[in-house]
Structure 1
Amino acid sequence: MVEPANSSAPEFDVVFRARRLIGPSGEVSGSVGVREGRIAAVEALDAPMRGARTVELAEDEVLLPGMVDSHVHVNDPGRSEWEGFPTATRAAAEGGITTIVDMPLNCLPPTIDSESLEVKRKVAENNVHVDVGFWGGAVHGNLDELRGLHESGVYGFKCFLLHSGVDEFPPLDSAELERALRIVAELDATMIVHAEDSEAIEHAPSAHGENYRDFLASRPRGAENMAIAQVLELARRTGARVHILHLSSSDALPMIASARADGVRVTVETCPHYLSFVSEEIPDGATQFKCCPPVREAANRELLWRGLADGTIDCVVSDHSPCTPELKRLDIGDFGVAWGGVSSLQLGLSAVWSQARLRGFELSDVVSWMSSGPARVSGLRDKGALAVGSDADLCVFAPDDAYVVDADKLHHRNAVSAYHGRALAGTVRSTWLRGRQIAGPEADTTPAGELLNRGEA
């Protein structure tokens, strides 16, 4: 409910009053004052704070910091029929996300030098509903461009250790990876890695047909484990900071924890689909579930949840990797030819909360994994916290509400989702970017997001 301002001169642009809010120390009640786009005060619920606008949260609502998704394939420019900045960022806003970091591939040109970064920024300018940062690419033949990309404001560099799925973003071999990591260490930057071993996958059975188990066999967990071991050893050797993308193999958790204990600078993410789905339940021909690395077995899923609980996994992000319905080949259901990627940008918060609550986790845990964690890993210092001085990026969330996903009602460019027909707990009632409402009733849906540079936010 929104109340009119009183007659006194307001102290704040907006005041939020919440019986439940998730701050840096956990769940409390309180009032939040926003001034000039930043959180200027966090006080008691009944503190005498005056705002030009006051937002009283309902009994069933919780005030969260806006979610941060540091793994989003927007595909714009060049493949905007798959996704684009207007649709991706609108979906993000509707899902409680206030900041995304865009991946450097599946767009044309790929973001592998300063010139291509500028092309992407021009396409995104004035077309984004949430704040957007950018990763640069580290590919075969561009390592001399990394310093320029870093100086241009990317948040780090992404590389593949096997074919990326698109020819214009070639992988690094072992020698190139070591050289790239030495450059990254000199820059005090971060290398984010799609860690699957190309040789192991070349020797695995080929993906073909409708049977999901055959596809799973084509991307064995051993390939993931071998690649992660290589990344950890090279990070140890070079001193570089590395981040393991979309962890699906729980086998790798002990060696990651061991490397971290030895001082290797490594962080790890997983994704809502690895925490939600299990291979045993994926129907034959259901190519909307295809992603690489793949969704694995139920026992593996539970070990990933354990990795979140003990802190080995730092964050949960979407790896939103959409395509047109035709490329998913739902007509023939062939996992060998369908594009790999799960579209979930709008659904991640609800999907993770739905599973987390079943395992005894609190909303504060989800905020740590999906807001403060990705912000910390990416270097987004003004994001991910409901604290004085942070950007006033907020999400009003109703954790006990529920809904059934209808892909046709999502704001992604294409109505394809592995979550279609699935019941999820928790709904986003409104989203606020720097104190401005961008989703929910009375929202201003004019694109107002900013393009971010490393070191500025």
Structure 2
Amino acid sequence: MTVFLLHSKRCFIENKFQEATLYIKDRCIHYIFNGQKRIDDVPFTSYGDFIIMPGIIDAHVHINEPGRTDWEGFDTATQAAAAGGITTLIEMPLNASPVTTTIDAFRQKKEAAKGKLHVNCGFYGGLIPLNAVEIEHLITFGAFGIKGFLSHSGIDEFPKVDAEHLKAVAPVLKQYDVPLLLHCELEDGEVPKVKNPKSYQEYLDSRPQRWENNAIDLALEIQKEFDIKVHIVHLSASELIEKLADRKSKTDKLSVETCPHYLFFSSEEIPDEAPIYKCAPPIREKKNNELLWDAIEKGTIDFIASDHSPAPAEIKQLGSGDFFTAWGGISGLQFTLSVMNTEFKLRGIPLEKLIPMLTQKPAEFLGLESRKGFLKKGYDADITIWDDTVEYMLTEEIINHRHKATPYLGQKLKGRVTDTFVNGCHVVHASKCINKNKGELLERSGRKVTTGNNSKRR
């Protein structure tokens, strides 16, 4: 039996900082004492003024195993996650090979993860045009949600879906109360012809806000017609924020995430021939991104997720500088907390606003709020400890991702994780991984639910 005490003057409990001592026993938070508390023969560690908070939950990660482990893989991804204070992540149905659109592929992914999970990990299933009959199986096999693309996903084995495909699976999603996650870009063909593939402005023009607007309109229609949970992943466009806010005021079945790269970078600072910044939807103009910040402060955006989507340098076209042939994805799993803390402090937004967006809100979205996302008695001892005041330069030596190329390289960031506990096990100490394979495979319950007709926010 493992028992120990963790103390800090700044524990994030009940949405505020307070001095407390956590009594950890058998992988759970057994009790929380006010102030400093010592118990005979129980190991005690005080972290002084460092923040003790619930472990971060990243609800949008691409790990790419099996099949494309050379892009990332469970071992390196979950080490990076732990080093960044992430104790739970949910992995997307692409870009593994096979993609997670069948029950057989789901089994292969679970098998591939064995012995390689340094943090807790769950999975989404994928929706493609010809797999409607698989959706219920994916849900009952433990998928936390079903993800679909309304534009080309980047790989041919995960083709885009349309309104009819969404309508076909909506009744099943409603039966199980499982969210439909949508990549919201819906092409209309009206974009400029490419003249210089190395120009970031031309890449940005090739994926206009209008495409996101088209897709969000469709997502809202599906949500309203079928009264199902719909989740907008990686929002980058600002033009329909008010429309999203209006719909959210009428239902608790619509949620929105954005990503650190849309809040930290802006298109004006991205040079040509730098596809390390390429993602889809693209990083947009500063004026647009300021409106994303407004949506965060107002609560229209529910939580922040990394959308970690790495690839080898040659696939990112770092040598050629071609935005249009480069893989679109930002590598940043390990640095969400540091990046967001840097920007929140710069803007004078309190950490009391940031921390729930990394812990409580994704836990609620995933249905894990009864065991994760809070420092509470009886909850899993998934704990992140960090110094929010330290500044450091991001160098390759710090990075645990398989590939070190990231647009954050060379940035001066504020706030760094010192210690991470996963299921009560000390996984990271002094910012280094000291224990491995302490994470667990997570599965959603997969049970049908009884739902009423009232979808208003409770």
| Change over 3 Å in CA distance of 1:443–1:321 after alignment to 2 | closer
Match of 1:335 among 323, 333, 339: 323
Structure 1 residues 227-285: Cα deviation after superposition (integer angstroms, max 9, x where no partner): 00110011100111000000001112111111122326200000000010010011111
Q: Is the 8 A contact 1:126 1:449 kept in 2?
A: no
The alpha-carbon deviation at position 404 of structure 1 amounts to 0.8
Amino acid at match of 1:453: E
The alpha-carbon deviation at position 46 of structure 1 amounts to 2.6
The alpha-carbon deviation at position 178 of structure 1 amounts to 1.5
Q: Is the 8 A contact 2:7 2:48 kept in 1?
A: no
Equivalence for 2:231: 243
| Change over 3 Å in CA distance of 1:264–1:387 after alignment to 2 | closer
Q: Is the 8 A contact 2:79 2:433 kept in 1?
A: no
Amino acid at match of 2:131: N
Amino acid at match of 2:113: A
Q: Is the 8 A contact 1:325 1:415 kept in 2?
A: no
**Residues 1:54 and 2:41 are matched in the alignment:** no
**Residues 1:85 and 2:70 are matched in the alignment:** no
| Change over 3 Å in CA distance of 1:122–1:194 after alignment to 2 | same
The alpha-carbon deviation at position 140 of structure 1 amounts to 0.8
TM score, norm. by length of structure 1: 0.94
What is the number of residues matched between the two proteins?
443
Secondary structure of the residue aligned to 2:315 is helix
User: What is the aligned-residue RMSD (CA, Å)?
Assistant: 1.6
Equivalence for 1:229: 217
Q: Is the 8 A contact 2:82 2:433 kept in 1?
A: no
Match of 1:409 among 391, 398, 402: 398
Equivalence for 1:446: 436
The alpha-carbon deviation at position 311 of structure 1 amounts to 0.7
Secondary structure of the residue aligned to 1:69 is strand
Amino acid at match of 2:71: W
Equivalence for 1:4: none
Q: Is the 8 A contact 1:239 1:264 kept in 2?
A: no
Q: Is the 8 A contact 1:63 1:395 kept in 2?
A: yes
Equivalence for 1:5: none
Of stretches 268-277 and 44-53 in structure 1, the one that deviates more from structure 2 is 44-53
Equivalence for 2:147: 158
Tell me, in whole angstroms, the C-alpha distance in 1 between the residues paired with 2:193 and 2:60: 27
Equivalence for 2:452: none
Match of 2:16 among 19, 26, 30: 26
Equivalence for 1:306: 294
TM score, norm. by length of structure 2: 0.94
Tell me, in whole angstroms, the C-alpha distance in 1 between the residues paired with 2:115 and 2:240: 41
The alpha-carbon deviation at position 186 of structure 1 amounts to 2.0
Q: Is the 8 A contact 1:126 1:448 kept in 2?
A: no
Equivalence for 2:368: 380
The alpha-carbon deviation at position 320 of structure 1 amounts to 0.1
The alpha-carbon deviation at position 331 of structure 1 amounts to 1.0
Equivalence for 1:195: 184
Tell me, in whole angstroms, the C-alpha distance in 2 between the residues paired with 1:351 and 1:418: 12
Amino acid at match of 1:21: C
Tell me, in whole angstroms, the C-alpha distance in 1 between the residues paired with 2:339 and 2:226: 37
Equivalence for 1:167: 156
Match of 1:107 among 68, 93, 96: 96
Structure 2 gaps, min length 5: 447-458
Tell me, in whole angstroms, the C-alpha distance in 2 between the residues paired with 1:367 and 1:174: 35
Secondary structure of the residue aligned to 2:87 is strand
Equivalence for 2:450: none
Structure 1 residues 313-371: Cα deviation after superposition (integer angstroms, max 9, x where no partner): 00000000000010111111111111100000001100011001111222222211111
Tell me, in whole angstroms, the C-alpha distance in 2 between the residues paired with 1:57 and 1:104: 38
Tell me, in whole angstroms, the C-alpha distance in 2 between the residues paired with 1:139 and 1:389: 39
Equivalence for 1:121: 110
Secondary structure of the residue aligned to 1:356 is helix
The alpha-carbon deviation at position 372 of structure 1 amounts to 1.1
**Residues 1:317 and 2:305 are matched in the alignment:** yes
Secondary structure of the residue aligned to 2:363 is helix
Structure 1 gaps, min length 5: 1-9
